[in-house]
Structures are given as structure tokens and as C-alpha cells.
Amino acid sequence: MLTPRRILVVASTFPASPTDATPRFVRDLVEAMHREDPSRSFAVLAPHVGTETVTYQRHEHFEEFRFGYVWPRGLQRLTKRGIMPAIAAQPWMLGVVPFLFLGEYLAMRRLVRTWKPDVIHAQWFTPQGVVAAMVARATGVPWVLTTHASDVSIWNKLPFFGGGIVRALLPFAQRITAVSTGTLARARGFFDVNEWAMIEPKVRIIPMGAPAIVASAENATGNTVESHTSANRGATRSLLFIGRLAEKKGIPVLLDALSRLDASVRLVIAGTGPEEDALRAQVARLGLTERVEFAGFVTGAAKDALIAAADVVVVPSIVTPSGDAEGLPVVVLEALAAGRLCVATDASGAGDVITDGENGFLVPARDSEALASRLKIVLALDATARERVAARARESMVALQWPLIARRHLEFLFTDLPAPSA
């Protein structure tokens, strides 16, 4: 049995800087694990993102290595916001995918030789898990996997051999975590009952972590946090969406639902992405220009303030026709930890942490009428009912704080691993 001390984390999506809009949950996990066990060493391998990244950086909790996969470097944009959204926006990027696999393979082999990890932790099966499986077979270094959203199910899109690749490689991961029940179900669908029975003992559902719990909607000075966005000034009720402006986020459904609500209800959309122009056009078409604000990318205190000021945080996720889907959006955890009322769809993965009507609210995906109906009910809750839901929301996040989530990863993924399979 092996308890690794040197852990190489490999991810395709990793922020290039503190102000980068790229989701940072992988970085948060690495930092939290090192805080929990400083005796372990961590390195992160990720692709270059255009000219925004450097080949090597030493951070407080980990070393960061970047690799190139296509030139000129300006073309290295495939992974900045996710591979599937990049290909959907620019189909020619599909031709870059093989180079990403090759570049990652060469870089991983090089780090195994020079940095000498005890284990490879692949974040996402595509491409990291596939590459890690090949490197593990070539070098004898074991690998573990964390699967997010549709990173395994995307192989269903490849006829004849896509499913075979999953069935051939996934069983050789020493341990596997999935961020949500839905994510695990997508991976399980590749195997029959007997095959899965062999894999299941080494699988756990462990989500990403929640931020620190906010005791109330008031800030540290005891004053209620107010929104400073133009769309919220004077509004009695406000909705908030935070996330990438991408198809799987389901924002058009939210806008349609907003058009069914009273004109006093406002919406702040915080984020950037390829769907922004289409969403602005929909806002104009629905006559919602005075009720919707596009706040752009927010992080840190600005994001916290938006969440604290919102009456309802809405997560209208869908599964796209191409199969792209959410795992469990971090904004759900952030909203619950802040004691905000959260309305999310059943395609968001939020069902793992929200009990409908208790600590939040769930609605069917792609159903703007159902979403509008639920939002009317939630916005009409009296102060006592709102605080009851808010208190339960905060309570539900106690077990999902980053220190506890980091400990669960350390104990399951990196303690007493079996010897690598041949």
C-alpha cells in the first residue's frame, strides 16, 4: 500500500492569475490540501493559455508547471474556459485537441522523470485521465481521478471506440471521486452491472468545497450589505446569476422566466463568455433592458457583495444537445454558505446539496414557466420563512467547508493506495 507524499495534480482548466475569470476550484482544492497536510508536496500541470501564462511559478502551497501544445502561442485557447465550449464557439478548435493530448503526455512524462511524483491526480477524465492512464502504464506511477460534469460522457460522441476507451482506462485508476451524483451516473453508464461492481469500491462522491460560512446577511460592521449595481438601485427584489455565460448555464431560460415576473424584479448577470451577445439580444427582444444588468466578471469581495445583496441566487443549468453539463456549480455552495435563498435546476447537480423547500429550491431544467412560478413563491416568502431557509442553508454547508473537503480528498485519494495495476 502507498500513501503518497508528492502529488502531481493535472488539470486542463486552471486560473492564470488571481484576477483570471477561469474557475479556481482546482487551485482551491490544492491549497486546502496543503494547508491540511503541509508535509506533502504538490505540483500542478496545466496547459498554457495564450500568452497569459509562464512555464513555471512557485506558489506558497504548490509548484505550477505549464506546457505548450500548439504554436503560435496565441492559438493555445482551447482550455481557458473548457474544451467543449471552445469547440462549440470555434469548431476548427477540434483539430487542436490531438495536440493537447500529445503536449500533455510529453509534459507529464517529463515531470514524472524530473519532479518524481508518487501519484498523478487527474482532474477531468478528458484529457487528463486518458493521458494519466497512459503515463501510469509507461512509468508505473499510480493515478487517481476526479471526474467533473461531462468529462467522461463526452466519449459517447465518438462512435465505435469512444465507450471502449472509457471501459479500457477508467478501471485502472486506483481511486475515483465524482463531484456529484449526476457526474458519477454519467461515468457509470459506460459499464454493465458486473463491470461496475468491480469499480464501485474505489469510488466516492466528494464535491468541491464551500467557502467560509457567513453567519448572516450583514457585513463585519453589522450593516446590511447593499448592491452598488445600477440594476439594483431602488429595486425591492433582486435575482443574481453568477457564472460563465455559456450554453449549459441555461441563462436564456432565466431571462424568459424574468419576463414572466413583476417589473419590480431585477436581475444581475455576473460573468463573461461566448453567449454574452446572444443574451444581450434576448434581453432587448424581451424588453428587459431596464431590468437586467451585465456586471461582467466578479471575484473576491465584489462577488461576495453581490451574493449578500441578492434576494435569490438562481442557477438555471441545462444539459446541452451536445451533452455538455454541470457537475455541481461552486456558486450553489457559495450561495448556501452565505445564507442566500437559492433556486437551481435539477440539471445543475444541486440536488446533492439542496433539499427542495428546506435549504433551497429545485425546479425542472429548461422550464421557464416552472422557474418563474417558483421564483414568485420564493420572492414572496416572509422574513421568518426566509431566515429559516437561510439558516438551514448555512447549516448544510458545515460539512462542505474546504478544510473538511480537503481532508476527505487526502484520506480517500492519497492514503493506502493499492499497487498500480499492470
Percent with pLDDT over 70 in the chain: 93
pLDDT, residue 89, reads 74
Name 205's bridge partners: 178
- What topology does CATH give the domain 6-209+401-413? Rossmann fold (3.40.50)
Taking all residues of the chain, what is their mean pLDDT, rounded to a whole number? 90
What pLDDT, on a 0 to 100 scale, did the predictor assign at position 217? 44
Indicate the pLDDT class of residue 83, thresholds 50, 70 and 90: confident
The rounded distance, in Å, linking the Cα atoms of 353 and 359 is 9
Cis peptide before 72 (omega within 30 of 0): yes
Whether 159 has a pLDDT exceeding 80, the answer reads no
Q: What is the pLDDT of residue 421?
A: 55
**What average pLDDT score do residues 377-386 get?**
96
pLDDT of residue 228: 38
Q: Indicate the pLDDT class of residue 72, thresholds 50, 70 and 90.
A: confident
Q: What is the average pLDDT across 79-88?
A: 74
Quote the pLDDT of residue 225: 39
**Cα 284 to Cα 109, 229, 267, 281, 296, distances in angstroms:** 51, 19, 14, 5, 18
- Residue 319 pLDDT: 92
pLDDT at 224 over 60: no
For residue 96, the model assigns a pLDDT of: 87
- CB within 8 A of 72, min separation 6: which ones? none
**Which amino acid is residue 72, in one-letter code?**
P
Residue 235, pLDDT above cutoff 80? no
- 126's CB contacts (< 8 A; 6+ apart) are 83, 151, 152, 154, 155
User: What confidence score (pLDDT) does residue 220 get?
Assistant: 34
Structural domain boundaries of the chain? 6-209+401-413, 237-399
Confidence category of residue 218, pLDDT binned at 50, 70, 90? very low
- What's residue 384's pLDDT? 96
Contacts of 221 (CB under 8 A, 6+ apart): none
**pLDDT mean over 20-37:** 92
Reported as a single tens digit per residue, the pLDDT across 342-377 is 999 999 999 999 999 999 999 999 999 999 999 999
Q: Is the pLDDT of residue 58 over 90?
A: yes
Q: What is the pLDDT of residue 197?
A: 96
Residue 77 is predicted with a pLDDT of 82
User: Do 237-399 and 6-209+401-413 have the same topology in CATH?
Assistant: yes
Q: Does domain 237-399 have CATH number 3.40.50.2000?
A: yes
Output the DSSP codes for 119-164: EEEEESIIIIIHHHHHHHHHH---EEEEE-TTTTGGGGGSTTTHHH
Categorize the per-residue pLDDT at 418 as very low, low, confident or very high, splitting at 50, 70 and 90.
confident
Q: Is 381 helix (H, G, I), strand (E, B) or coil?
A: coil
Q: What confidence tier does 48 reach under pLDDT thresholds 50, 70, 90? A: very high
Confidence of residue 279 (pLDDT cuts 50, 70, 90): very high
Average pLDDT over residues 274-303: 94
Of the listed ranges 47-51, 237-241, 395-399, the one predicted with least confidence = 47-51
pLDDT attached to residue 44: 98
- Give pLDDT, residue 214: 64
Quickly state the pLDDT bin for 219 (edges 50, 70, 90): very low
Residue predicted with more confidence, 248 or 225: 248
pTM score of the predicted model: 0.88
For residue 232, what pLDDT is reported? 42
